[in-house]
Each structure stands twice: as C-alpha cells, then as structure tokens.
Amino acid sequence: MPKVISIVDDDESFRHALTHLVRSLGHAVASFASAEEFLNSDRINDTACLIADVKMPGMSGFELQSALLERGARMPVIFVAADSRARTRRQALASGALAYLVKPFREERLVRLLGQALGDHRVSPDASPS
C-alpha cells in the first residue's frame, strides 16, 4: 500500500490547499472534514502520517489522537492550529505529536516534518516548534 498522508481539518479552503501541497510532494492524500469522518473511514491503517487541526466542531484533534491510540493505531501526528498559546503547544507535544504548527506556517517546515515522519533521511529533521 502506498504511504498516505491523512489530513483532518474542518476549514475546507485550508484542507484543499494542504491537500494540494502534499500531493505536489508526490504523496497520496486522504482528506477529511472531521475527526469522526476519519475514524469512520477505511484509511486509518494505511495512514503513514496524520495532519490534524486541533480545534474542530465535535471531536478535537487531541480527542482524535486519543481515539486512535485506544484503537492501537500509531502514526506520527502533526497538529495544526490557529492557537499560538504555549499551553496548547505543550499539550500537543506532551501527547506525543511530532509537531505543532501555528497557522499560517511556512510550507518548508511542513515538508521537513513530513520527511521526518516518513523516515526520509534526505530531509534534515527540524524539531523546533513553529
């Protein structure tokens, strides 16, 4: 199965732009408007990396990550959010997320993080939060 990057974000325009960016990098993409939609999909097991909004109607990104862990689904998670509060960033990283990106973020940062998440050693990892 090809490595799939799953994107979960309720903002349709952001989700579309992010899907386009990730596809332009040569990755297969599955996008979802809600955490519940992703959890009810057949894409969980072939997701190599999850990019999820923190704050969404219904289930939050943090709740999505917890639900996945309860199911035994382990994958790198990159949280994206408009919230730049240090407390929220700490919560994301303490939950085991690979990164917490504040919207808008630089595309190059996401490219590096995807390389790190997928084990692409040609891309130098950048662990600093932004």
Q: How many domains does the chain have?
A: 1
Per-residue pLDDT, 121:
41
Q: Note whether residue 63 is domain-resident.
A: yes
Q: List the CATH number of the domain containing 61.
A: 3.40.50.2300
* Cβ neighbours of residue 99 closer than 8 Å, sequence gap 6 or more: 78, 79, 93, 113, 127, 129
Q: Note whether residue 100 is domain-resident.
A: yes
pTM over 0.75: yes
Q: Note whether residue 42 is domain-resident.
A: yes
Strands 99-102, 47-53: pairing kind: unpaired
For residue 88, the enclosing domain spans 4-117
* Cβ neighbours of residue 128 closer than 8 Å, sequence gap 6 or more: none
pLDDT beneath 50, residues of the chain: 121-130
Q: Note whether residue 122 is domain-resident.
A: no
Q: Note whether residue 125 is domain-resident.
A: no
Q: Identify whether the C-beta of residue 46 lies closer than 8 Å to the C-beta of residue 21.
A: no
CB atoms < 10 A from the CB of 78, how many? 24
Q: Note whether residue 21 is domain-resident.
A: yes
